[in-house]
Amino acid sequence: MNLASVTPAASSESGRTPLARQRGVRFIDPAALMRIKNLQMRARVVVEGFYAGIHRSPFHGFSVEFSEYRQYTPGDDLRYLDWRLFARSDRYYVKRFEDETNLLCYLLVDVSRSMSFTSTEITKHEYARTMAATMAYFLYQQRDAAGLVVFDEGIQEYLPPRHRAGHLRHMMAALQREPAGKATDLARPLEQIAQTVRKRGQVVLISDLLAPPDVLATQLGYLRSRGHDVMVLRVLDPAELEFPFTNPRMFRDAESGQALYVDPQTARDDYLSGFREHAEQIARICRDLKADFVVCRTDRPLELSLFDLLRTRMDVGRHPARNDRVARRAR
């Protein structure tokens, strides 16, 4: 049994405070956030916190990526340059028109059995669907078209990208449904998704990625070859990253159900070594494919995970103009 895919059968409580701070901004703790039962309201709280964080962070000058501007690219009409914005940010931006905001975004959410694991108060599935709901709400606010794919060993829900009054409500309802608890087969659903998604746009994969790296490389490579801008959000429980257990206990494979009695003192080094090797392979695959990659811990505020994604997309060679080029090709 691969220790990298084994999760403990028991769970423990977290002693964290309800709010997290970053540069004077307070973000709601994930455990407190999940007490908001309405998924759309929960998403709204995260989006509002994210915007508040942008205005009090080093990203303030770049918050235009999330508004009605985009970065200047050669060939743009110079009449639409915003010189006042240039004076504040030292970057050239042009105003986006309504037809330029019609980005197509596909949110791919893993609801397989391993996503139900938690060592705290929040399962990976709860965190993942809240992240997907947040991104859907965010896209709707920007007048972009969001679609949803919910999958385990196959596609369970598919809502094509739309920007209509009732579409966001349908997405929230689909995310709110409890999963069937099936195993993961990343290959089949991602292959189906690649064949189903015809128009090019953004593809956001939200999963724990407890699967062979070569499967991920093949399917993400196919999506990239079709011109999609791919983002990968890997949702992990802190116990999977740290293996903090000390006493012998029963561990159960979240996918197969196979149980194994383990002494953590002797297994810890092997587990962490195997997990890190697997994680490095996934990170390398995303880097080679030029897919944005972020690890989201379930004990970390969602706003900070969004900041991590924004930071990744602002790295060398990753800027708002890339998103707009993909969007224009999709039309």
pLDDT one-digit tens code per residue, 252-302: 887 777 898 999 999 999 999 999 999 999 999 999 999 999 999 999 999
Does 15 reside within a domain?
no
Q: What is the mean pLDDT of the chain?
A: 80
Asked if residue 54 has pLDDT above 70, the reply is: no
Q: What percent of the chain has pLDDT over 90?
A: 50
Question: Binning pLDDT at 50, 70 and 90, where does residue 89 land?
Answer: low
- Classify residue 33: in a domain, yes or no: no
> How many CB atoms within 10 Å of residue 295?
17
C-alpha to C-alpha distances, 233 to 78, 85, 127, 202, 286, nearest whole angstrom: 36, 31, 11, 13, 11
Rounded to an integer, the average pLDDT of 153-169 is 91
Please report which confidence band the pLDDT of residue 68 belongs to, taking 50, 70 and 90 as the band edges: low
Tokens of 298: 């379930």
The verdict on residue 50 lying in a domain is: no
CATH number at residue 155: 3.40.50.410
Global pTM exceeds 0.95: no
Lay out the sheet containing 229-236: strands in order across: 155-162, 145-151, 104-110, 202-207, 229-236, 292-297
Residue 300 lies in a domain: yes
Instruction: Assess if residue 8 is contained within a domain.
Output: no
Across 82-86, 214-218, 319-323, the highest mean pLDDT is recorded for: 214-218
Q: What is the mean pLDDT of residues 152-168?
A: 91
Contact (Cβ atoms closer than 8 angstroms) between residue 134 and residue 107: no
Range of the domain at 128: 101-330
More confident residue, 238 or 27: 238
pLDDT higher than 50, residue 324:
no
Is 242 a domain residue?
A: yes
Considering its fold, how many domains does the chain have in total? Answer: 1
Residue 59, pLDDT > 50, answer: no
How far is C-alpha 245 from the geometric centre of its chain's CA atoms?
27
Taking residues 202-223, report their average pLDDT: 94
Give a yes or no: residue 49 inside a domain. Answer: no
Q: Is residue 23 part of a domain?
A: no
**Residue 85, pLDDT score:** 59
